[in-house]
Chain A
């Protein structure tokens, strides 16, 4: 079993719901993202397009972040999800430097309304979902949802509570999550039939996130 995600760029309308839903679900302060939407332009007037790439941790099969971690805090589970154990992380930031996709951040609490204190939502997050400042953080493919779902007999990617928040949140249904080791899974079919591509395969890390480009 290896979890992966396909993002259909034809469906994506650059609404940022993935980015914002993820921030809300994980109580992420300003400046920290597990999901990001990168935008720009390609082409020249009038043969031009906006350029949109929803980005998240690629949960690479050969993950540079895991390879450089001196404490074993960054590790890869058997299901392919790359995880950071913040109790073991010493905040050396090697992984942040090593990630070619720039998907890791050193955590720091910040008020959503600068200078106005933490509100009840932020306080709830600090109490019930605390982060250790200075440690590296990133997307976990919502592994607790996946694990809890599997324990309840659900299928991640099909059953909502077992599926990553960003997949559920997308109003354009641009995201598909599933088991890339299952040849009959929707995700494998999409990769095969729609010629989905990994981002910057030249980095040679074999990402678990694919994009439908055309």
Chain B
């Protein structure tokens, strides 16, 4: 009779039966996990009861099935050198096995040469994809020490969060934001899935969102598809891709101008809504201090925003200051949004105007502006309304404005980082372990009073005293192939591999081509968009090194050297990403939990953990001391714990010092190996920090008004054109290229959507997940609206081709569904691999990304997010419909 694992205990042949604490590396969530190892073989993974970094004992299927990745027989085991001189999307590497010494002999001289000549010739790619995230804290400092390199998006970057992360950093001091599940009563989601199987803080969100639903939280989901989020919603509202911003700005209009509901005290003191704006659209500044000014109606005078004598702030009115007529920005915003009527939004989005009015009213009234709540003896504002947007809502050329709109609608109601509101994921204030006060993190204000995220694992300023602007003024010629010297608000850039890259590089003065590329677990050929363009760009780079778990379209087609990476259960013991609180930490009003990581099995074959090898490379390049110093800064390792000049510590030894420095001498690496994690209570002032920190958010988009004219002038003078009107300080909606394509031939909008089973492209090589994917009709089939599909003569299971107006096609089985907007067609996840080295993933599902175009026209001209929907036609294989 088959027994469960617990029955191993009494068997004499069982010489080992232990559980080992570490962190999951299956996605960027890095949940705490325990691994069951018996007789040296890891046999099960589960969540950690008692840890708030995860699902309190639960774990998602992706995390559980990481054991299959560990044992995948297709893994890279040895360093390899390419013997096929031809590079291309469908080429195979025909690799020969070499030694680590031979591999380093290929790599080190090139890194030395580039470092001597111009470090920008080195392109590197990393991603928060499976098995990649736990090494970022060692990679980032390494390249910061090496020199100014070019960071290229591996797929995740420009797709998912260029707009979202940019705005949530400005508004919440956090990588992401979402509703406070504990107290929120009314949430609106725009193309987001946090809490419903994927997204940041994945399992934490799942657990807490489930509790919120049980509590009766109302949830309205705007999405082209009734996917998992819509399924759990009180109300699913179908919407066309790329039009979320139109609906949001129309709702802001309804709330401000029809309902006249807003949180005046919050807008006055927590936003720039009270700042005076002159005719040049810029802040009116105090001639003496250069501080932005407000109008004090009691004193009938303009004052610097931080003047301690201010009695009140005007939000409306015309004033004359410094010889110019000016208005509070709030008044200008209120006037501007009048152009976005619900009827206009209905026309572009298909969401009925009456629905927009109703939802806006419900949301504004649910905010209970003016109410308070007592939490553990602390009285706090209570605004139980929240919003969330992610890839689906913001993966468009109007990304930045759509995300601003998503959060401005909450900010005008005072619903930011207070109980029930949209809150930072993760909290932007940590007062530290009660025993040491570390890590201590808090947002702070820049000279204009605007929020600057408080970071801990960082090489940037941790406090206002050390603040320097995080990007320089726009300039040309550009020096990097990402062109971010001009596009200063772009977090990750597509121009390394866009179709128009050479034209843009020439026009904007980029003087060199990349000479070497290092990829850590990325696969931009499959994961980015327009694979032909990406393939051309990668082939132009003379030398490529890929650090992989198993073969990818990138490494097979283009790598000169392949290095065998470690699975996260093979990683050297470390503090991992434990202190990357900006990116991942227990959310909302839940205890702090810090986990350590450790190997549950020694690396097999000749696999090596990249972070270990970086020290060898640093030695060879003669930069070990500098790298150590950068690590001291990154982790804020201080005093007796700091790595000293000449010291050669390994990762475990450095992590031991990090832990002891942060939690005391009795809490080193060994303690974390044995106990797994440290937990301490979060205070209300940490979870709901907004009332306690004197920082403001820009509901008036001053940066765009300030930098826009320069960027536009520099670009236009070099014959570079884009949708420059997006550099407006007023939150707006702009049509995407998809909306501009007439319906006559290309009559549907194709979008991609997340599933709970997959993160990025790598999870399709996991048998458990592929098996489950085949049991779900919405994962490996193309999904079209039932009536639309019938009208085209389709039946379930037909093999169809989707052709975008850019001329590329993808193909697969179709199903007819009621869960899809009639004008849309959907493809799940990053599936459709063609590399033969992933036999489980091979040809599973449909490759969406090939439909997307990569160029400036299809990028947000401010934040560089790419357009992730495409105008398409669809026909049965064998001929056009």
Task: Check A144 against B3 for contact (C-beta < 8 Å).
Answer: yes
Q: Does B88 contact A (CB under 8 A)?
A: no
| Shortest distance between the CB of A131 and any CB in chain B (Å) | 5
Given A24-B67, A168-B46, A172-B210; A113-B840 close (CB under 8 Å): yes
Q: Does B60 contact A (CB under 8 A)?
A: yes
Residues of A within 8 A of B58 (CB): 17, 168-173
Task: Check A41 against B43 for contact (C-beta < 8 Å).
Answer: no
Q: Does B162 contact A (CB under 8 A)?
A: no
Q: Does A20 contact B (CB under 8 A)?
A: yes
Docked complex Cα distance between A40 and B817 (Å): 9
Given A121-B41, A137-B2, A168-B46; A43-B61 close (CB under 8 Å): no
Q: Does A48 contact B (CB under 8 A)?
A: yes
Q: Does A112 contact B (CB under 8 A)?
A: yes
Q: Does B429 contact A (CB under 8 A)?
A: no
A-B pairs with beta carbons under 8 A, tally:
214
| Shortest distance between the CB of A163 and any CB in chain B (Å) | 10
Q: Which of A8-16, A94-102, A177-185 contacts B (4 or more CB under 8 A)?
A: A8-16
Q: Does A145 contact B (CB under 8 A)?
A: yes
Q: What sequence of 0s and 1s flags, for each residue 35-78 of chain A, a beta carbon within 8 Å of any chain B beta carbon?
A: 01111110111101110100000000000000000000000000
Identify which of A11, A44, A129, A165 contacts B2 (C-beta below 8 A). Answer: A129
Residues of B within 8 A of A198 (CB): none
Identify which of A10, A16, A84 contacts B756 (C-beta below 8 A). Answer: A16
| Shortest distance between the CB of A22 and any CB in chain B (Å) | 10
Q: Does B213 contact A (CB under 8 A)?
A: yes
Which of A125, A145, A169 gathers the greatest number of chain B CB atoms within 10 Å? A169
Docked complex Cα distance between A114 and B226 (Å): 35
Task: Check B60 against A25 for contact (C-beta < 8 Å).
Answer: no
Q: What sequence of 0s and 1s flags, for each residue 191-227 of chain B, a beta carbon within 8 Å of any chain A beta carbon?
A: 0000111000011001101110110000000000011
Identify which of B73, B206, B817 contacts A113 (C-beta below 8 A). Answer: B73
Given A45-B787, A129-B5; A124-B778 close (CB under 8 Å): no
Task: Check B43 against A121 for contact (C-beta < 8 Å).
Answer: yes
Q: Does A23 contact B (CB under 8 A)?
A: yes
Given A24-B45, A172-B58; A124-B3 close (CB under 8 Å): no
Docked complex Cα distance between A185 and B750 (Å): 49
Task: Check B226 against A48 for contact (C-beta < 8 Å).
Answer: yes
Question: Size class of A's contact patch?
Answer: 35 or more
Residues of B within 8 A of A116 (CB): 73-74, 839
Q: Does B775 contact A (CB under 8 A)?
A: yes
| Shortest distance between the CB of B32 and any CB in chain A (Å) | 12
Docked complex Cα distance between A10 and B787 (Å): 28
Q: What sequence of 0s and 1s flags, for each residue 63-75 of chain B, a beta carbon within 8 Å of any chain A beta carbon?
A: 0110110011110
Residues of A within 8 A of B72 (CB): 113, 119
Residues of A within 8 A of B213 (CB): 10-11
Q: Does B7 contact A (CB under 8 A)?
A: yes
| Shortest distance between the CB of B391 and any CB in chain A (Å) | 17
Task: Check B47 against A30 for contact (C-beta < 8 Å).
Answer: no
Task: Check A49 against B226 for contact (C-beta < 8 Å).
Answer: yes
Task: Check A50 against B2 for contact (C-beta < 8 Å).
Answer: no
Q: Does A26 contact B (CB under 8 A)?
A: yes
Q: Which residue of B lies closest to A116 (CB)?
A: B73
Task: Check A144 against B6 for contact (C-beta < 8 Å).
Answer: yes
Task: Check A48 against B45 for contact (C-beta < 8 Å).
Answer: no
Task: Check B38 against A128 for contact (C-beta < 8 Å).
Answer: yes
Q: Does A79 contact B (CB under 8 A)?
A: no
Task: Check A41 against B819 for contact (C-beta < 8 Å).
Answer: yes
Q: What sequence of 0s and 1s flags, for each residue 35-56 of chain B, a beta carbon within 8 Å of any chain A beta carbon?
A: 0001101111111010000111
Q: Does B289 contact A (CB under 8 A)?
A: no
| Shortest distance between the CB of A10 and any CB in chain B (Å) | 6
Q: Does B8 contact A (CB under 8 A)?
A: yes
* Sample (8) of A-B pairs whose CB atoms are under 8 Å apart: A13-B206, A16-B61, A24-B44, A26-B2, A45-B787, A46-B818, A120-B41, A173-B211
Which chain B residues have a beta carbon within 8 Å of chain A's beta carbons? 1-9, 11, 13-14, 38-39, 41-47, 49, 54-61, 64-65, 67-68, 71-74, 195-197, 202-203, 206-207, 209-211, 213-214, 226-228, 230-232, 236-238, 756-757, 767-769, 771-772, 775-778, 785-787, 817-820, 822, 839-840
Known: A39-B777, A41-B818, A161-B6. 16 other contacts (CB 8 A): A11-B213, A13-B197, A13-B209, A13-B210, A15-B206, A31-B771, A36-B775, A40-B777, A49-B226, A113-B72, A116-B73, A116-B839, A124-B38, A171-B58, A172-B55, A173-B55
